[in-house]
A and B are shown apart, each in its own frame.
Chain A
Amino acid sequence: MLKILSLLAMAVLSTAALAQQKSAADGIAEYRAMLADGNPAELFEARGEDLWKKKRGPKNASLEQCDLGKGPGVVKGAFVELPRWFADTGKVQDLESRLLTCMETLQGLDAKVIAATPFGKGEQVGMEGLTAWISAESKGMRFNLSQSHTQEKVTYELGKRTFFYRAGPYDFSCASCHAQAGKRIRLQDLPELTKNPGDGVGFAAWPAYRVSSGELWSMQRRLNDCYRQQRFPYPGYASDVTIALGVYMGVNAQGAQSVAPALKR
């Protein structure tokens, strides 16, 4: 089924490419419309909700008492306020680093081991579901990250500097691709991330189900592949650099409507 979907998507995309060079966006929009009632991300959401409620780990506990920022167990609306400062850890955390904290404190799982697990394997499969479900619970809501704590402001500035940090064999930074409006790599439209790129674009479009690979990509995985293409070394899962970028993009996206989990080619 997923393979058929990806073939279909490619067909739509190549048709668009032949017809006009304007953008892959038209082909993707058409394809999205076809799938309006059946984003495969729903399968991941269901898995994530189950996992949230399931008792497991050495402490045989669920994640239902996890505080994502709006109090223990409150999921609705949490996603569009992350990353944010958490008093109990003394850190600014994004959704995934916060989930690691909850899995460790509530369930007794080893956060380091989970962070070191490759995407799409073991506990990371669970993370895909959890991020899909938790983001879906805020679908249609608008990003509203706090900048009231000093550490939130400092992290924004660190994220901004990270965004413009040029290095590596190609001299690329995030800004190489994402600091101007209306640009493309090949036919792929690039969101401008130095400001609010609009509802459901950029930061407001991840996690997303990727039709081409049949995978659910969280923001951590999205950033990881950006850094691969930037020709940088490997960013640690939930590392400070990734969280700082999340704060920078999330604050810039203030007021943007979240469509996560979105559907991508």
Chain B
Amino acid sequence: MAGCATLPPGPNYAELVKQMMDASFRNEGIATTDRLIQDQANAACSEAQGANPPDAVVEAIQQAALKSVRMPSDGKFTGDWREGAKLAQNGRGMTWTDKTALPKDNGGNCLNCHQVTKEELSYGTIGPSLYHYGKDRGVLDPESPEARPIVEYTWTKIYNAKSYNACSGMPRFGHAGLLDEKQMKDLMALLLDPKSPVNR
């Protein structure tokens, strides 16, 4: 394949990419060019081009991500699964055609990549199916002490998916300020409440 052609030596590609990005993009609405700046995780995962960064880098990214996670201020992890279902359907937010970058104007985008219920057939397949998420993990009462490990794991995953998978494809909903605490609790209920359509 032509793509395997050997590269000419010399060019500093990282620098050339930066110059090219800076020259090619402009601000439009809420989508400003500071979005091009990469943190350690995005820089390392881009550089790896689909493979994993070196082990030490992976470890550092995951540790930093884990540290960023703030547990719910009132100690309660789940809200209303009905609201969570609406958020899961909503694929809007953060584009240059969206009015604000506030959580109230953002969806959860879940269905874009995950199966969530049995009834909704229009779902994406980039992420794993979440159907029976709580049921398969034996969650009977998400606020009970027994459920605490899986509940904290799930909160952490939604808040900052890089905590457990340095180059996870999932947005960092809490860390990036995409969703507020109440919205994340509603998504938690959707995934973990035994009455939610996810677990029926």
Q: Is the CB of A252 within 8 A of B37?
A: no
Q: Is the CB of B50 within 8 A of A164?
A: yes
Report the stretch among B4-12, B79-87, B139-147 that lies at the interface: B4-12
Closest partner residue, chain B, to A255 (CB atom): B1
Which of B8, B16, B121 is A158 in contact with, Cβ under 8 Å?
B16
Q: Is the CB of B23 within 8 A of A239?
A: yes
Distance in Å: Cβ of B97 to nearest Cβ of chain A: 7
Contacts of B37 in A (CB 8 A): 167
Contacts of A179 in B (CB 8 A): 50
Q: Would you list which residues of chain B between 73 and 126 have a CB under 8 Å from chain A?
A: 91, 94-97, 101, 109, 111-113, 121-126
Report how far A46 CA is from B53 CA in the complex, Å. Answer: 51
Closest partner residue, chain B, to A242 (CB atom): B24
Contacts of B14 in A (CB 8 A): 161
Report how far A153 CA is from B124 CA in the complex, Å. Answer: 35
Which of A154, A175, A240 is B8 in contact with, Cβ under 8 Å?
A154
Report how far A187 CA is from B123 CA in the complex, Å. Answer: 6
Q: Is the CB of B42 within 8 A of A167?
A: yes
Contacts A167-B42, A183-B124 known; A154 to B112 CB distance under 8 Å? no
Closest partner residue, chain A, to B123 (CB atom): A186
Which of B5, B94, B113, B125 is A169 in contact with, Cβ under 8 Å?
B94
Residue A136 at the B interface, CB < 8 A? Answer: no
Residue A17 at the B interface, CB < 8 A? Answer: yes
Q: Is the CB of B13 within 8 A of A186?
A: no
Contacts of A248 in B (CB 8 A): 3
Contacts A169-B171, A254-B1 known; A185 to B96 CB distance under 8 Å? no
Report how far A175 CA is from B51 CA in the complex, Å. Answer: 12
Residue B2 at the A interface, CB < 8 A? Answer: yes
A 158-198 to B, binary, CB cutoff 8 A, 1 in contact else 0: 10111011111111110111011011111100100011100
Which of A21, A167, A254 is B123 in contact with, Cβ under 8 Å?
A21
What bracket does the count of chain A residues touching chain B fall in?
35 or more
Distance in Å: Cβ of A143 to nearest Cβ of chain B: 10
Report how far A85 CA is from B114 CA in the complex, Å. Answer: 42
Q: Is the CB of A228 within 8 A of B42?
A: no
Contacts A153-B8, A184-B124 known; A234 to B28 CB distance under 8 Å? yes
Contacts of A162 in B (CB 8 A): 17, 20-21
Contacts of B27 in A (CB 8 A): 233-234
Contacts A17-B121, A170-B94, A233-B96 known; A252 to B24 CB distance under 8 Å? no
Contacts A175-B50, A228-B96, A254-B2 known; A165 to B17 CB distance under 8 Å? yes
Q: Is the CB of A161 within 8 A of B35?
A: no
Which of B16, B45, B121 is A166 in contact with, Cβ under 8 Å?
B45
Residue A229 at the B interface, CB < 8 A? Answer: yes
Which of A158, A175, A231 is B17 in contact with, Cβ under 8 Å?
A158
B interface vs A, CB < 8 Å?
A: 1-3, 5, 7-8, 11, 13-14, 16-17, 20-21, 23-28, 31-33, 35-38, 41-42, 45-46, 49-50, 91, 94-97, 101, 109, 111-113, 121-126, 169, 171-172, 176-178
8 pairs from A and B in contact (CB 8 Å cutoff): A145-B2, A162-B17, A162-B20, A169-B101, A170-B109, A234-B25, A235-B25, A239-B23
